[in-house]
Amino acid sequence: MNRFNNLFIFSALIFFLTPFLSFSNSVELIPQRSHLQENNIALQLNELSETDSLAWDRPRFDERKQEREYLVQTGIIGQGITDPNVIEAMLQVPRHRFIPKEYQRQAYQNTPLPIGYDQTISQPYIVALMAEMLEIKPGDKVLEIGTGSGYHAAVLSELTPYIYTIEIVEPLGIRVAELYNELGYSTIKTRIGDGYNGWEEQAPFDKIIVTAAADKIPQPLIDQLSPGGIIAIPVGRQDQTQVLTRLIKDENGNLRTERVLPVRFVPLTRSNKE
């Protein structure tokens, strides 16, 4: 009888504590993938959706919100983007904070804009389209080649907390790292260097996005892609029309490519071309 009572008290304790335990999990910033898996188990028990259990730092900004809403209605939803998480990400990230002073008025137009050093911030529609092409799930590990203004990676950081981005132009890389600090995008890992070779120490990646055009898809990036992974990249020479391309690696490692849209991107440069 006594043993039964103890068991009853113990079960009741676990029952009442479970919501608190999973709540403390859900507000914690989770840098490790193993935590993620633990979270997923807790999640199934609680019958919550995956997004509910995985929470991470996503800063929020009211400034110029109406302009963002108008851009998303007309240039994102209006042009055929349907992924609700991508749409929400585009509503949240304050594009004007990634743009130089002299272009502030155009910040919410659906066009690319100069960011210095002969580089550009991509057109919002293309940012959303590439994010949608990657089919990012919370928990995916994503590598971006071409940090540029930092805007695209900020949008991706709304979709999963594991974002790695590489920029070859040092002052741009430094500026973005400082900006992320200031704005509170604390989950994004930045690096300065030639992204052609990927980020070996952090590989493999579930998704890889290249925001500069290459003649062909760099082999190191294909090698660093997980089975079941996706690469989104503009392919083509600067003097030709480039094609926004999706490469899919299936679970057996077989590759398949899809041509999505003709585009115009700045070139993927190399630090020490042979």
Q: Which helix (H) or strand (E) holds 27?
A: helix 2-27
Q: Other C-beta atoms within 10 Å of 269: how many?
A: 14
Cis peptide before 204 (omega within 30 of 0): yes
**90 binds ligand SAH per the rule CB under 6 A:** no
User: Of residues 53, 122, 149, 157, which has the active-site annotation?
Assistant: 122
* CB distance 76 to 124 below 8 Å: yes
Contacts with ligand SAH: how many residues (CB under 6 A)?
A: 24
| Smaller CB separation from ligand SAH, 39 or 141 | 141
Check if the beta carbon of residue 190 is closer than 8 Å to that of residue 165.
Answer: yes
Check binding of 157 to ligand SAH (CB under 6 A). no
User: Is 198 among the residues that bind ligand SAH (CB under 6 A)?
Assistant: no
Whether residue 217 contacts residue 224, with contact meaning beta carbons closer than 8 Å, is answered with no
Is 222 a binder of ligand SAH (CB under 6 A)? Answer: no
Compare residues 88 and 194 and give the one whose CB is closer to ligand SAH. 194
Contacts of 175-180 spanning 24+ positions with Cβ under 8 A: 175/150, 176/147, 176/148, 176/149, 176/150, 179/97, 179/98, 179/150, 180/150, 180/154
Q: What angle is formed at CA 96 by the lines to CA 94 and CA 99, rounded to 5 degrees?
A: 130
- The correct pick among 211, 224, 242, 245 for binding ligand SAH (CB under 6 A) is 211
Write down the least CB distance from residue 7 to ligand SAH, Å.
57
122 catalytically annotated: yes
Report the nearest approach of ligand SAH to the CB of residue 117 (Å): 7
- Answer yes or no whether residue 135 interacts with ligand SAH by CB under 6 A: no
Of 39 and 119, the one with the shorter C-beta distance to ligand SAH is 119
Span 158-197, contacts to ligand SAH by CB under 6 A: 166-169, 172, 194-196
Task: Say whether residue 119 binds ligand SAH (CB under 6 A).
Answer: yes
For residue 205, with 0-12 CB atoms within 10 Å meaning exposed, 13-18 middle and 19 or more buried, which class applies?
buried
Which residues form the interface with ligand SAH (CB under 6 A)? 119-122, 145-146, 148-149, 151-152, 166-169, 172, 194-196, 211-212, 266, 268-270
Enumerate the active-site residues: 122
